[in-house]
């Protein structure tokens, strides 16, 4: 798979089965979140191998179903955890999103800003602008309660 096709495929998979968001971690921290969840792990493991050739680490996890629930399948999720890898993935997939383009752009801006801040000060807190971006993404993702509540008091 050529590199451009790989990122177009990743964007399509994320548009349909993925999450691009920002989560709160503690009172003063935010966590950029990029995840794909599917019921068949084959595609994610192949994607992991192809991205590894590009120098990007994709973490794939299997979530076993509750044994008390007969009809539940094992679910697989893939996440890009490092800010550096997330920046690369978002830059390369951004042109291909059809549904989650705005979320991807907001998250990419946050990741770029965060990487610059962390290069100078490891303990730097997020600011009100970051909180507003969190509210925007939550609103775009349809989480109206969290979008109103947001992450305030930074």
**Within a domain: residue 120?**
yes
Dump pLDDT digits (tens) for 12-47. 999 999 999 988 777 667 889 999 999 989 999 999
Query: In terms of Cα–Cα distance, which of 8, 90, 6 is closest to 48?
Result: 6
Q: What is the pLDDT of residues 32-89, one digit of tens each?
A: 999 999 998 999 999 999 999 999 999 999 988 777 777 788 899 999 999 999 999 9
Residue 154 domain-assigned? Answer: no
The number of folded domains in the chain is 1
Sign of CA dihedral 94, 96, 98, 100: negative
CATH of residue 83's domain is 3.10.28.10
Establish if 23 belongs to a structural domain. Answer: yes
> pLDDT tens digits for 97-143?
999 999 999 999 999 998 888 888 766 777 888 888 888 998 998 87
For 34, the domain range is: 3-149
pTM of the model: 0.84
């Amino acid at each position: 798979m050529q590199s451009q096709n790989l990122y177009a495929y990743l964007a399509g998979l994320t548009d349909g089965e993925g999450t691009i968001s920002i989560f709160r971690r503690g009172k003063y921290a935010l966590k950029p979140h990029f995840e794909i969840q599917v019921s068949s792990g084959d595609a994610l493991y192949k994607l992991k191998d192809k991205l590894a050739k590009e120098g990007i680490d994709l973490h794939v996890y299997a979530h076993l179903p509750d044994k008390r629930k007969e009809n539940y399948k094992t679910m697989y999720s893939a996440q890009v955890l490092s800010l550096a890898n997330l920046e690369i993935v978002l830059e390369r997939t951004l042109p291909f999103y059809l549904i989650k383009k705005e979320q991807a752009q907001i998250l990419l801006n946050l990741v770029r800003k965060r990487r610059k801040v962390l290069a100078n000060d490891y303990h730097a807190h997020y600011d009100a602008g970051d909180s507003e971006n969190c509210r925007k993404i939550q609103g775009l993702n349809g989480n109206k309660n969290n979008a109103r509540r947001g992450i305030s008091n930074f």
